[in-house]
């Protein structure tokens, strides 16, 4: 059966980002730029779902002809539950950030991790293969990036989290995918890494507690990457600067790259990301 076309909006195919809050989302701007650049006719909107009714919002969107959605905080687990078919990387992450309507059901994928590795390797020229990589945090974002990071063969991948048990669980979960271990903040003293990725939400909001990790984590020439993005350098990136990290980047490139991967899933065409990323940074 052919995908159902949206009624209204000049019969353009309909996509959305669903979250709560969602007003700040840059996704409509990114997908509008992709659509313009690729000549794809689509509309992409923001949908604020009530915290207790993600399924109702998704069902209403589908009734109005919605063909695909990005899903952001706090609904990535509920999006997983809403999908009756999943990609391998969504299963690995246990979370869905992209939904695609397939004939009579939602297909769930997770493009966050591949968004990160594309940004690191292609946009930033940061080598991951054979490098010592440290991931700080063990929440939903960390879970989404571990599989794609291990797929590009770091020499070792260490996970460290404020709540140690969660890091232990993630390391065990991904043990078959590559050389991954968990480490307490205290035991990291004396170790250094080529790439340190902040996948905590410690850069968000007014949290002023000192970061719980020891000094000396950055090897000479090390790269610091914060999944969080902001118009000013984040708290983690300022800390990394003080600690001697040579190169630093925030997660705006990851956001654009994960969006491009979603666009590819929906439309079968991969948009160029460079101009869109430059435009957002501008
Ligand atoms: P979760 O709420 O699932 O996890 C939060 C993590 O941060 C936990 O590991 C938590 O530790 C840790 N944490 C929170 N505050 C502190 C602190 N003060 N010090 C140390 N650790 C702390 O959030 P997500 O994993 O979904 O998101 C994490 C970050 O990634 C957010 O900033 C989000 O915006 C960003 N992100 C960016 C994307 C992009 O495209 N650029 C995509 C997805 C996420 P504990 O377990 O001890 O509570």
Beta-strand relationship, 13-19 and 66-71 = parallel
Measure 200 CA to ligand 1 centroid, in angstroms.
3
pLDDT at 83: 98
What pLDDT digit, counting tens, does each position of 33-74 carry?
A: 999 999 999 999 999 999 999 999 999 999 999 999 999 989
209 touches ligand 1 (CB under 6 Å): yes
pLDDT at 267: 98
Measure 204 CA to ligand 1 centroid, in angstroms.
8
* Model confidence pTM above 0.85: yes
What pLDDT digit, counting tens, does each position of 195-216 carry?
A: 999 999 887 766 677 788 999 9
What pLDDT digit, counting tens, does each position of 249-261 carry?
A: 999 999 999 999 9
2 vs 253, more confident = 253
CATH topology of domain 13-110+254-281: Rossmann fold (3.40.50)
Q: Is residue 4 very low, low, confident or very high in pLDDT (cuts 50, 70, 90)?
A: very low
Q: Is residue 11 very low, low, confident or very high in pLDDT (cuts 50, 70, 90)?
A: confident
Place of tokens 């539950």: 81
**Domain locations along the chain:** 13-110+254-281, 113-250
Q: Does the structure show a pLDDT above 90 at 6? A: no
Q: What is the residue-averaged pLDDT of the chain?
A: 93
pLDDT at 221: 96
Percent of the chain with pLDDT over 90: 88
Measure 238 CA to ligand 1 centroid, in angstroms.
17
pLDDT at 3: 42
CATH topology of domain 113-250: Rossmann fold (3.40.50)
Matching CATH topology for 13-110+254-281 and 113-250?
Answer: yes
259 touches ligand 1 (CB under 6 Å): no
pLDDT at 61: 98
Q: Does the structure show a pLDDT above 70 at 23? A: yes
Instruction: Determine which one of 26, 76, 165, 166 is catalytic.
Output: 76
pLDDT at 163: 95
């Amino acid at each position: 059966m052919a995908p159902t076309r949206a009624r209204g909006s000049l019969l353009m195919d309909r996509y959305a980002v669903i979250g709560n809050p969602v007003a700040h989302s840059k996704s409509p701007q990114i997908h509008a730029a992709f659509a313009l650049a690729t000549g794809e006719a689509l509309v992409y909107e923001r949908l604020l779902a009530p915290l207790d009714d993600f399924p109702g919002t998704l069902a209403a969107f589908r009734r109005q002809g919605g063909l695909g959605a990005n899903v952001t905080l706090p609904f990535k687990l509920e999006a997983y539950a809403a999908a009756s078919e999943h990609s391998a990387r969504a299963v690995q992450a246990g979370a869905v950030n992209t939904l695609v309507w397939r004939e009579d059901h939602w297909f769930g994928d997770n493009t966050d991790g591949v968004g990160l590795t594309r940004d690191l390797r292609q946009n930033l020229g940061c080598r991951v293969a054979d490098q010592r990589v440290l991931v700080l945090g063990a929440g939903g974002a960390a879970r989404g990036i571990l599989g794609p990071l291990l797929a590009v063969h770091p020499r070792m991948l260490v996970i460290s989290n404020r709540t140690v048990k969660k890091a232990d669980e993630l390391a065990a979960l991904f043990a078959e995918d590559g050389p991954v271990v968990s480490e307490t903040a205290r035991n990291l003293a004396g170790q250094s890494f080529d790439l340190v990725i902040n996948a905590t939400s410690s850069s968000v909001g007014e949290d002023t507690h000192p970061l719980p990790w020891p000094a000396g984590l950055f090897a000479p020439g090390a790269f610091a990457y914060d999944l969080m993005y902001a118009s000013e350098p984040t708290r983690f990136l300022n800390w990394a600067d003080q600690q001697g990290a040579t190169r630093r980047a925030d997660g705006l490139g990851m956001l654009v790259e994960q969006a491009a991967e979603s666009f590819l899933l929906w439309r079968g065409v991969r948009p160029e990301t460079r101009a869109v990323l430059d435009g957002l940074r501008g």
